[in-house]
Amino acid sequence: MKITAFILGLLLMGSCQTVKAETLYEQLGGQAAIELITEKLLDRILHNPKIEFLFEETDREDLHLKIVDQICQETGGPCVYEGLDMVEAHSGMEIKYSEFDIFVEDFILAMEDAEIPFRLQNKVLAIFAPMREDVTYE
Ligand code: HEM
C-alpha cells in the first residue's frame, strides 16, 4: 500500500513538472537577458556598414523598447508589444533578402554576445525567421 502511494506521489510530481514547464522567455533569462540581447543587436545593426543606411533616422531608444517587448511577448514573457505589425513597420524600405540575412546574422551574434546557449538561439530564430516575407519586399 505504501509503495503504491509512493509511486503515485512520484507520478504526481512528474506531472506537476510538466505543467510548470519554463517558457522560452524564462529559459533565456527573463527581462535582463532580453534587454541585453536587444542592446547587442542594436549595437550591431545600427553600425553594420551593409545595413546601417536603413536606420539613419531611427530613434535607438524607441526601437530598443519595441524590440524588447516583441521578443518578450513572442517568447512567452509578460510584455505586450504595441508597435506596428511587421509589414507596416518595414513597408517602403525595400529590404532585400540579403539584408534580412545580415540582420539575422547580427541577431545570432547578439545572442552569442549575450551568452545564450545555441539550443535556445535556435528556438528564438524559429520564431523570427518566418517573418522574412513580412519584412522584405522581394
Ligand atoms: C525578423 C526580423 C525583424 C524583426 C522582428 C524586426 C522588428 C522591428 C520592430 C519591432 C520595429 C519597430 C516597429 C515600430 O516602429 O512600431 C522595426 C522597425 C524597423 N526595422 Fe525591423 N525587424 C526585423 C527585420 C528588419 C530588417 C532585416 C531590417 C533591415 C535590414 C529592419 C529595419 C528596420 C527599420 C529601419 C525600422 C524602422 C526604425 C524606425 O522607426 O526608424 N528590420 N523592426
How does the average pLDDT of the chain come out, rounded? 92
Query: 60-74 and 30-45 helices cross at what angle (nearest 10)?
Result: 130
What whole-number distance in Å separates Cα of residue 69 and Cα of residue 75? Answer: 10
* 84-119: pLDDT as tens digits: 999 999 999 999 999 999 999 999 999 999 999 999
CATH 1.10.490.10 fits 23-135, yes or no: yes
Q: What is the pLDDT of residue 20?
A: 77
Q: Tell me the percentage of the chain whose pLDDT exceeds 90.
A: 84
What whole-number distance in Å separates Cα of residue 122 and Cα of residue 125? Answer: 5
pLDDT top residue among 74 and 13? 74
Distance of CA 59 from the midpoint of ligand 1 (Å): 12
* 10-19: pLDDT as tens digits: 555 665 555 6
Query: pTM higher than 0.75 for the full model?
Result: yes
In ligand 1, the atom with minimum distance to the C-alpha of 55 is: 35
Closest Cα to atom 9 of ligand 1: 67
Ligand 1 first shell, C-beta below 6 A: 51, 54-55, 57-58, 63, 66-67, 70, 83-84, 89-90, 93, 95, 99-100, 103, 128, 131, 135
* 14-38: pLDDT as tens digits: 655 556 789 999 999 999 999 999 9
For the chain, give every domain's residue range: 23-135
